[in-house]
Structure 1
Amino acid sequence: MKKIYSLFAFLSLFMLSGCSVYNFTGTGPIDAKTFQVNFFHNNADLVEPGIDRTFTLALQDLIMNQTNLNLVPNGGDLVYEGEIIDYRTTPMTATAVGSNGEVGAAQNRLTIRVNVRFTNKKKEKDDFEKSFEFYYDFSGQQLPSGTVLNDAIKTIFERITQDIFNESLAKW
């Protein structure tokens, strides 16, 4: 009976030790201790003031909240840099011709694309340069300003930063 308990304890320890490779954010063990996020300049043809700072801070916050890495201003083991390369609003569906003869948009889409260069100084094979894009649809009766714009940017940046995190650290 004592051998069965010993075997059970050994198997339990073995199985639990295997769980340390995965955590709740999906990242495995990371050799890095620090990361830096350089300022993402807005190089889009249509410039919305402030979104470059908003994006940079959103990416920093996501990595700080989902890892135990320390944010540093320079010399980071992991470096994120790039630029916002596209910011556009396009009509998605048209409405019927109104009494004034104009065709309106029933729905508009705000799309933002960010080019990212990721450098892992501890593991160079993980380096990449890639564009990430997402969109937000809103009523054609609304303008992309105020609350609509804030909601759109928040939604878009949440998705893009999570995609960047997954590509660079979670390997999904």
Structure 2
Amino acid sequence: MTWSNYRKLAAWLVLLALLPLFSGCSVYSFTGTSLDPAVKTISIQTFQNTASNGPSFLAQRFTEEFKDYFQRNTTLKLVPRNGDLQFEGQIVAYDFAPAAIQSQNGVDQAGVNRLTIQVRVRYTNTQDPKQDFEQTFQSYGDFPATQDIARINNDPVALRRIMLNIITDAFNKSVANW
């Protein structure tokens, strides 16, 4: 290797070593969050089930999934109350209805049933109140007409998929600012 090549290699190594300094003071992380470094804690109150129907365990399961998602995707410490970020809300709809009607031998019947869940989320950012919001998020899942609501309620994967869509939307709106 020539002296010129050593100088080029040394220049590249210095540049690579200094690159993190040029990235600025961004608050972006690889999980997609854009949190202010002053935000350290999160509190998530139990989401109440105010829907006229739905399984009795729905509020507790949704709240636990919500907490788990935020703990997996942020470095925030979960506290019982008064976190820097605060979530509360209620499950406002849990509807199971035919989504596609098909006619068989002159008789109309459901071909596909749809479970729709709506959750009203209230978000408070104590460090930046301009980001506060209250919004209803909705997701649904389609199921064969042969699968009744009791079976779906006892299928944690089916319910989890619908709940996870709502939680992801709330995550993106609150800490990812999408």
> Smaller-chain TM-score range?
0.7 to 0.9
Q: How many residues align?
A: 170
Alignment partner, residue 132 of structure 1: 137
1:1-172 aligned at under 5 Å gives the runs 1=4, 4=8, 7-17=11-21, 18=23, 21-30=27-36, 31-98=38-105, 102-146=107-151, 149-172=155-178
- CA-to-partner distance for each residue in 1:40-71, whole Å, 9 max, x for gaps? 10111223211000111111000111111111
Higher CA-based Rg: 2
Q: Which moves more between the two structures, 72-81 or 10-19? A: 10-19
Normalising to structure 2: TM-score of the pair? 0.85
Inter-partner Cα distance in structure 2 for 1:42 and 1:165: 20
- Rate the CA distance shift 1:38–1:29 in 2: closer, same or farther, 3 A: closer
- Give the ranges of 4+ consecutive aligned residues of structure 1 lying more than 4 Å apart after TM superposition: 1-7
- Stretches of structure 2 lacking an aligned partner (at least 5 in a row): none
- For the 8 Å contact 2:46–2:59, the answer to whether it is kept is yes
- 2:60 is paired with a residue whose SS is helix
AA paired with 1:120? N
Normalising to structure 1: TM-score of the pair? 0.87
AA paired with 1:43? T
AA paired with 1:67? T
CA RMSD, aligned part only? 2.2
Shift of 1:75: 1.6
Identity of aligned residues (%): 35
Shift of 1:104: 1.4
- For the 8 Å contact 1:110–1:152, the answer to whether it is kept is no
